[in-house]
Amino acid sequence: MKSLTLSVSVAVPPAVVAGFVRDPLNLPIWAPAFCRSVSFVRGEWVVQSPAGAVTLAFVPDNPYGVLDHTVRLPGGQEVCNPMRVLPQGDGSEVMFTLFRQEGQQDDELEQDAERLYSDLQTLRQVLELLVVNDLSRWQLLSTELPPDADAQDEEPRRKTELHRVFTFASFADAMAFMQGAVPKIAALDHHPRWENRWCEVAVWLSTWSDGWKPSQADIDLARYLDALRAGFPAVADEVSNLA
């Protein structure tokens, strides 16, 4: 059986990569070609894929970087996907082996490999965005956008946003935080989507002109908001998204 092994280097420690990958809720963020949405149904992770609803199961958590997972297709066929994350200096090497399925032609395997390599590059970009820029308290959210009436293809469009909920000791502190951010927001000329809920301020950052993905302006604003939050009294806050 013919196979292809693809790899990508990621400037993030292996434990962080493994923890992010094995959480199925992160799949729509880094593997949008495979996963349009995911939910936990009757003890199984169900992925809405181009082939229909499939189930996904990773091997048990382990310290060896083994991320093998089994996908059960709508017809009941099970496909095992070997995946590894290995130490490489201060970072990692992520490897994924793709096997040719029964009846699959070489050109179809190559197309699958191209989509997989694109997903691995997205994984690298996502993790380096959060870790290298010290945004571990932020999440990346991925949602499907309404179809573009002018678009000729039917590929679903997605919006990826940086998201964090800031928690404060009082409503007054939450308001002071928002007011304190206004000069920086005006200087960047880049406005967040945010809302206040009593002692919380929820923020979403994305740039439509960059294809509804976080831009450098979003990163700069996220880091500024983190620094601004540090000037207020500490309270129980959200945990690191990459812990």
85: three-class secondary structure by DSSP: strand
As beta bridge partners, residue 37 has 48
pLDDT of residue 118: 92
Contacts of 163 (CB under 8 A, 6+ apart): 138, 139, 140, 141, 202, 203, 204, 205
Phi-psi region of 172 (alpha: psi -120 to 50; beta: other; left: phi over 0): alpha
- Give the per-residue pLDDT at 178: 98
The pLDDT value given to residue 212 = 86
Specify the pLDDT at position 220.
95
Q: How far is CA 94 from CA 105, 136, 232, in A?
A: 26, 20, 39
Q: State the Cα–Cα distance between residues 231 and 228, nearest whole angstrom.
A: 6
**Which pLDDT score is estimated for 209?**
87
3-state SS assignment for residue 117: helix
CA distance 143 to 159: 5
pTM for the full predicted model: 0.76
List all residues 6 or more positions away from 124 whose beta carbon is below 8 Å from its beta carbon: 8, 9, 10, 94
Measured CA to CA, the distance from residue 81 to residue 187 in angstroms comes to 47
Q: Is residue 189 exposed (0-12), middle (13-18) or buried (19+ Cβ within 10 Å)?
A: exposed
Quote the tokens at residue 215.
């831009």
For each successive 10 residues of the chain (243 residues), what is the average pLDDT?
89 94 92 90 94 95 96 94 96 95 84 93 92 89 74 67 95 97 95 95 93 90 96 75 52
